[in-house]
Amino acid sequence: MALLSILLAALASFALGSVWYMSLAKPWMAASGVKVGADGKPENSSSPVPYLVSFVAMLIIAATMRYGFGLAGITTPVGGLFGGLAVGALFIAPWITLNTGYSGRPWRLAGIDGGYAALGCAAMGLVLGLF
């Protein structure tokens, strides 16, 4: 059951990320400086590598959150939701903001990426709390 919960949590966050970044594609591409082709899509959009790397990262985060939730005694969907939100908003988003600041990229990028970190981890936590 542990592996299934990790897989489903990663899938939930990955799916949320696809909706998040599709809806914020233009401002994200402008803020991040991603090279765009003539079709308006990122030049690397046909490569599966970013998606595979992203999903592996989601699996690592979900497994780590599951372990941490076990230590913290988080066993409910609501606890998982708020625990995940805390991980994303209070650990990952600030780190993203640090990287954004030092790289001289627009602060809007930190808001977009940090917002996804918070919501994506909340989704993971909710799913983990269901198991």
Q: How confident is the model at residue 41 (pLDDT cuts 50, 70, 90)?
A: confident
State the residue range of the domain holding 61: 1-28+47-129
Does the residue 124 lie in any domain?
A: yes
Look at residues 84, 92, 127 and name the one whose alpha carbon lies nearest to residue 113.
Answer: 92
At 105 the pLDDT is 95
Give the DSSP H/E element, type plus range, for residue 29: helix 25-32
The answer to whether residues 83 and 64 touch, using CB atoms and an 8 Å cutoff, is: no
- Domain assignment present for residue 85? The answer is yes
Q: Are the CB atoms for 117 and 93 separated by under 8 Å?
A: yes
37 within some domain: no
| Measured distance CA(20)–CA(42) in Å, rounded | 16
* pLDDT of the residue at 20: 98
Q: Is 4 contained in some domain?
A: yes
Query: How far apart are the C-alpha atoms of 50 and 65, rounded to whole Å?
Result: 22
CA distance 131 to 129: 5
Of the CA atoms within 13 Å of residue 62, those in its CB half-sphere come to 27
Average pLDDT, the chain: 95
Identify whether 42 is part of a domain.
no
| Helices and strands: H and E segment counts in the chain | 6, 0
Q: What is the mean pLDDT of residues 42-58?
A: 91
pLDDT value, residue 12: 98
Residues 92, 61: Cα–Cα separation, whole Å: 10
Would residue 35 count as lying in a domain? no
Q: Say if 33 falls within a structural domain.
A: no
pLDDT of amino acid 5? 97
Residue 18 within a domain: yes
pTM for this model (two decimals): 0.93
Q: Report how many domains make up the chain.
A: 1
